Structures are given as C-alpha cells and as structure tokens.
Amino acid sequence: MIGDAEKMEALITDWDSIPVEKISDGIERQMVVGQNLMICRLKFDPFVVTPAHSHPHEQVTLVMQGKVKFILGDDEKIMSAGDVLHFPSNHWHGATMLDEEVVLIDIFSPIREDFL
C-alpha cells in the first residue's frame, strides 16, 4: 500500500514500485490510498470467482486486461479490456474471470478501511 492520509503532498510513482499483496489464491492486489479515495490494481488468474457482494463505497472498475463476467444486480454481462463500470454505493456485484489473466483497476470512495 502506498499513501498516507496524514501526509497531504503529491505522490508520483509507478505500479512496479508498489508492493504486491497476495490476498488469496490467484489474486494479487496493489493499493494507493489517499484521504478520501483509493485505487487498487488487481491481477486475477483465469477462472477465479469473486462472490457477489455489496458495500457502502462507491466503486469504479476499469478492465485493463482479459475478459470478466460481472454480476450486476440481477444481470450478468461480459466485459473486456477498455470497459469501465460504475457501482453506486450498496450495488450488488461480483465477477468471474474467464479463460485468461485479468487485470482490473478498482477506485473506491471513501477508502475501504477493510483493505488496510
């Protein structure tokens, strides 16, 4: 995790310098944390499933690489590199990675204290 809400100066970095955290089998996460938002880069192995859930945080997800089947409320949709999703607060969502490595950028506001 990079960033510290107590230090309010600009941060300039690159993903290669941000520590990688293995959060479960087939999932790695890197984080940059500000005072009111956070950005996470997640790498998923093929066929990893993130169970459907909701949270009070607003979320924007950018699909950087691969194809993902998202649960979006009562719907399912396959998204691929270049697609952007917006999840309002408390929106039901989940994801199943398809047959290749997937890289997602998740942006949350406010920050996900449960990730720290």
More confident of the two residues 7 and 89: 89
- Within-domain flag for 12: no
| Averaged pLDDT score across all residues of the chain | 93
In a domain, 14, yes or no: no
User: How much is the average pLDDT of 93-103?
Assistant: 97
- Six token digits for residue 73: 């409320």
**Residue 44: inside a domain:** yes
Counting the structural domains of the chain, the total is: 1
Residue 13 in any domain: the answer is: no
Cβ-contact 23, 50 below 8 angstroms: no
The answer to whether 62 touches 50, Cβ cutoff 8 Å, is no
Q: Which domain holds residue 44?
A: 19-115
* This prediction's pTM: 0.89
pLDDT tens digits, 53-84: 999 999 999 999 999 999 999 999 999 999 99
For residue 8, pLDDT beyond 70? no
Give me the CATH number covering residue 82: 2.60.120.10
Q: Looking at the DSSP assignment, which residues form a beta bridge with residue 87?
A: 59
Instruction: Please determine, for residue 1, whether its predicted confidence score (pLDDT) is greater than 70.
Output: no
pLDDT in tens, 29-47: 999 999 999 999 999 999 9
Residue 77 structure tokens: 């949709």
* Residue 86 is assigned to a structural domain of this protein: yes
Q: 78 to each of 32, 83, 87, 111, 112, how far by Cα in Å?
A: 27, 10, 16, 27, 26
